[in-house]
Chain A
Amino acid sequence: MTVKIISCYVENFGKLHDYSVDFSDGLNIVCEENGWGKSTFAAFVRAMFYGLEGERKRNLLENERKRYKPWQGGVFGGKLTFEIQGKTYQISRVFYDKEANDEFELRDAQTNLLSKDYSKKIGEEIFQINRESFMRTIFIGQSDCKTSPTDDINAKIGNLADHANDLNHFEEADKKLKEILNSLTPERVTGSIAKRKEEIAGYERIVQDGEEIVESLDIYQDLLHKEEAKYETLKERLKETGEEQQKVSKLQSVLAKRSEWERLKKSVLRKKEEAQLLTGKFPGEIPPAEKVKEKISECGDMEKAFERLSMCQVPEAEKAELSALTSAFQKGIPAKEDLEEKIGEAGRLRKIVLEYSSEQMSPKERERLEELEFCFGEDTESVASVVGKWNARNTKKAALPSNQAALTALKASVAGKQPQNSLKRTVFPIIGAAIAIMGVLITIASFLTVGMAMIVAGALMIILPILLGKKKAEPEQNQVSPELERLERIIEEDMRFIAVADQEVGDYLQVHGKSFDEHTAFAALQEITEEAVEYSSLKKKARKAKEGVQAAEIETIRKSIDTFFLQYGIASSEPRYADDLYALRNKAARYAELTLKKEKLEKAQAQYNAMRANMDAFLREYGYEPADDCLLQLYHIRETMEERQYALEAFQDMKAELNRFEAETDIPALEQIQTEENLASLEELNQRMVRLTEEMEQVHHTIINYNKNLEDLQERYDEREECRIKLKELKALQTQEQKKYGLVCKARSKLGAAKEVMTAKYADPLLESFGKYYEMISGDPADPFHIDANAAVTVDELGRQRDTDALSTGYRDLVGICLRTALVDAMYQKERPLLIMDDPFTNLDDEKMRKGKTFLENIAQTYQIIYFTCSHSRS
């Protein structure tokens, strides 16, 4: 597999544009000035085989797509014609924004047909090394001479790619194992073993801490069992107490009966003693209850008698008064009837005396009687009759003018003249009004009758024409005549009567010494009337005085009264008769009153004394000394009697009850009962049961609490158990991973060792080749240099092998160039690839540069070399 580039055409690549170049076998020097684009062209050749590198790199230097994007624009790419195993191919690549869009084309250069002999990974396929290995071997870049073998290089060195092709997987395998180790490692916190170690430690702590939970569980279990046992004990004790209670209850029932029997017997005795004690309280025979009751009732009467006695008590003043009255009435007490009679006589006497005194006429009265006797002794007509006659005369006289006026008016109407009618209607009222006014004046002047008559007449004159005028318009002419006649007759009669009356009244007045005047006649008649009354009275008095019977009666009465007074030694006289008689009556009444009081007192005293004596006799009869308050004493007696009676009844009742009890009860059985001294009472047992129940409740409560605690602990225990299981799992996994870690470590180690063995097989040929080229360039022997199984070059320096980094830049480049060439020699022992050198000798001194040229000429005989330089001295 000898590979050589025949030509290149750069369409656009970096700053290169439309650049063509042909290459020949052996050394091809491209000597251009700085900035021409030598490195770009070298990158172009590399890109033609491997495509662009650093697709995702942001750095412009690392991202070739960006770095070599044509400055001037246009199609990004070019063509490269190469020869391999006698066949010529042309690679065409066009680059776009991303690799996926890149175009790759391979043509057979001889037929110009598309070839499928190689894919777009043509670099790997031709050189059997990846891009990185290409860069480390075939491509020797400027200031990048140092190299180290990659898997591909090692594989190529081992020449194994053809048949096993697994050495180039070493790095991948190592990387995988390393990743596994990293993921497992106990050394770093990111490793699962290290992580799990922490986790395990955490769970171990929990599990360890949980030890006390187990202990607590046991403790609480024990406590619980103790409490439960306690509860059972209490329950048993409660049961026993209940049984004891039942037993005691039964015994208590019998004991209660015996107690009841004892009580009854004691009660009978006690009641008997009480009755006897009460019987002993009586001094003698016990009075019958009825009698006591009777006596108590009598006490009530006696009390009343005593009250009466108290009420009848006579004051000392009254006693003195009675004594005085007794001496006053030594001769007897006037009878009430007598006194009343005498009082009546005294009254009558006073009346008669008064009457007698009033009926006696005085001389003046006698003179007057005589005077009036003269005037009225001859009267044939009473003054009243005369007055009546005069009044009638006045009435008629009063009516006369009006009648006359009416007559005149009537006469005028009879004449039948209209004007006259109207005149009559106007004149008559005027006249009527004048008459009425006159009547009023006359009435005021004390001629009442006349005045009134005139007023009436005047009024008629005013009204009549009006009435007549309305009603009798037409028939008036025919009716006037009878009316006229009637009026004329009335006027005539009235005038006649007036004349007769005047004559008779005048005569009468004259008899009584009065003159007649029409205007004073009425007053004169009045005076005569008064005189008539006086005359009548005087005449009557005179008639009584003439009778004279009363004096004798007066004397009789006086004598009777005087005699009465003398009976009682009282001196009295007219007009004190009545007063003295009343005084005597009062005294007599007072005496009677006081005497009665005295009698009542005496009677009440006698009654009371009799009652008291009776009571005292009763009390003494039964051995009691009467007390002042015998009622209280009797009450005491009765009370004692009742108490005794009650006691006796109670005694009898109790005895009956005892008898009944004894009849109903098996007394011998009661008598035989033996009580246990230590037997608790029902109350004690009840209290004990209450205590036990309370204790049981407490224990039950404790049990519940313990159970709750146990549940909590169990929950914690369960959590701890889960942790323990988890811990176990983790530990198992840890052990498993630790084992895996150890075995993977071993696998990696053994894999590395295998690789070293593999590469060590080619270390000597590599060193030989390296030495040859080193001596060719440097002129020095390559003895101090060593190459290990990993193709790493070391140099003996100051007694030990040192890395080539310790060398100067020039030597480092030199070592790198030699090693790369040696590696290519080792890698491609039969087929030779081309070598691309991008001015690798810049750091060499002139001597070495000169020898470098020789080196190039020598290797150019084996390889096609495309050598880029900017210096003619190095070209």
Chain B
Amino acid sequence: MPATLSTFSDQLADAVERGAKSVVSVHARPRLPSTGVHWRDGVIVTTEATVRRDENITVTLPDGRRIPAQLKGRDAGTDLAVLNIPAGQLPAATLGDPTALRPGHLVLALGRSGDSGARAAFGAVSATGGKWRSWKGGEIDLWIQSDLTIYPGLGGGPLVSPDATIFGINSGGLSRPLATTIPVSTVERVVTQLLAKGYVARGWLGAAMQPVRFSDQQGGLVILSVEPDGPAALAGLMVGDVIISLDGHAIEHADQVLELLGGDVVGRTLKVELVRGGKQERVDLLVGERPRRAR
């Protein structure tokens, strides 16, 4: 009966209407505006790649008012940027649990462009998975891909369920051709750090390493160079040392080190087990903060 499809159609339109109450248009680049989500009161989240200037940023609210916003910080690794607007302007997003998503779940992407009202795209979750690292180096808690089309201007908008809860922020730039969503937990973590510091601090050892094997059973990372006065140098590590464990985890691939450094480790002292001149040794290493390149 057509009534079945009409009911479904109304449900989707309701989800767009409700979800879009916390969706704004972000004017932070020439020409086409992008989309942002009112994540917490006074806090707008959008994608980093769509914020092309640091000042003179404005947002258009669902009621059509265009107000100034201040850039609080950006993280290219996770493709997220955070803006501040005065509190109490619009409702904060209703957040859901993206770990519940499975391939086949129906989802919507929402957007807003200037004063033209809400925009929407519809599709299904294509693939889900665990933690991954973006090509820009950011750690993202969940892999969520969908067959949604992220049309021009829809980047930075939310992935929304048919009952209008928000699962994350859609990024047009993290991978193609499928749409990638940055899940709620990653957004929460990055927003907290961006509000506190303006950037996401990532751990730094100050040593270049390459995998090496001693035998079929055991391998490690051999140090190829050491940054003068970097954390590795200060801990007494030398070229030719082979790191076999870090913070109690056996290390055989550079990815394992990157994963460890992606977490909240800056300022922590890690136990390093290494092989030097055929003998096993232990040293303490105070993790530094990766120097930030000027944009």
Are chains A and B native binding partners rather than an unrelated pairing? no
Taking Cβ atoms with an 8 Å cutoff, the residues of A that contact B are none
Contact surface of B with A, Cβ cutoff 8 Å: none
